[in-house]
Amino acid sequence: MTQSIQHLKETMACFGTGVTIITAHHAGHDFGMTCNSFNTVSLEPALVLWSLRQASGNRAHFEAAGGYTVNILSHAQQPLAMRFTKGSHEERFAGLELARLPTGRPQIVGCTAWFDCALEQIIPAGDHDIMLGRVLSFGVNADANAEPLIYARRQFGRLVV
Ligand SMILES: Cc1cc2nc3c(=O)[nH]c(=O)nc-3n(C[C@H](O)[C@H](O)[C@H](O)COP(=O)(O)O)c2cc1C
C-alpha cells in the first residue's frame, strides 16, 4: 500500500457506526472501554464481535474475564463515550447507574440495547484482536428517548430518518 496511514484512518472514519461501551468484570473489578468496531456476525449460533487494540491496557483484563457486555449507547449518553476512553476504571464508572447481569457483568442503565456474551475466541488481526462473543442474553430499551448515538467522520450525531 503506497497511501498514508493518515489517509487510511480518514477513509475508515467515513464508515458511520453506532457507539458502544464494552464492559466486563474480573477479580472483583468492573472495567470498560468505548468501542465502535462492534458488529453482529451470526444468528444461529448468536455471535457478535469487536476489535481490541493489542496495545490496550485493557487487553489482559478482557481475556481473563472470559466474557463481555456490549452496551449500545443512546444519544443522551454521548458524554460517556469520551469518558470511557481514558482514566481509571473507578473514574469511568463513577456515579453510573448499573444493572448487574447474572454473569456478574455491569450493564449501563439507559443504553439503547445490550448483549451479554461469553468470549468464544480471540482472533489475532494485525495490531488488533477480534473478540468473538457468543450471546448469552440481550435486551432493548423500550424508552422511545433511547435513540442510538451515531459516530462518523470522528463526530457524534443522531440518526435522521
Ligand atoms: C468513538 C470511539 C470508538 C473507539 N473504538 C475502539 C475500538 O473499537 N477498539 C479499541 O481498541 N479502541 C477503541 N477506542 C479507543 C478506546 O476507547 C481507548 O483506547 C481505551 O479506552 C483506552 O484505554 P486503555 O489505554 O486502557 O486501553 C475508541 C474510542 C472512541 C472515542
Q: Whole-model pTM above 0.95?
A: yes
Q: Rounded to the nearest whole angstrom, what is the distance from the C-alpha of residue 51 to the centroid of ligand 1?
A: 10
What is the C-alpha separation between 20 and 113, in angstroms, rounded? 10
Q: Domains in the chain, start-ordered, CATH in brackets?
A: 5-154 (2.30.110.10)
Q: Rounded to the nearest whole angstrom, what is the distance from the C-alpha of residue 86 to the centroid of ligand 1?
A: 9
* Model pLDDT for residues 78-110, shown as the tens digit of each residue: 999 999 999 999 999 999 999 999 999 999 999
> Of all protein residues, whose CA lies closest to atom 26 belonging to ligand 1?
57
* Model pLDDT for residues 45-84, shown as the tens digit of each residue: 999 999 999 999 999 999 999 999 999 999 999 999 999 9
Within 6 A (CB) of ligand 1 lie 19, 33-37, 50-53, 56-58, 81, 84-85, 151
Sign of CA dihedral 55, 156, 19, 154: negative
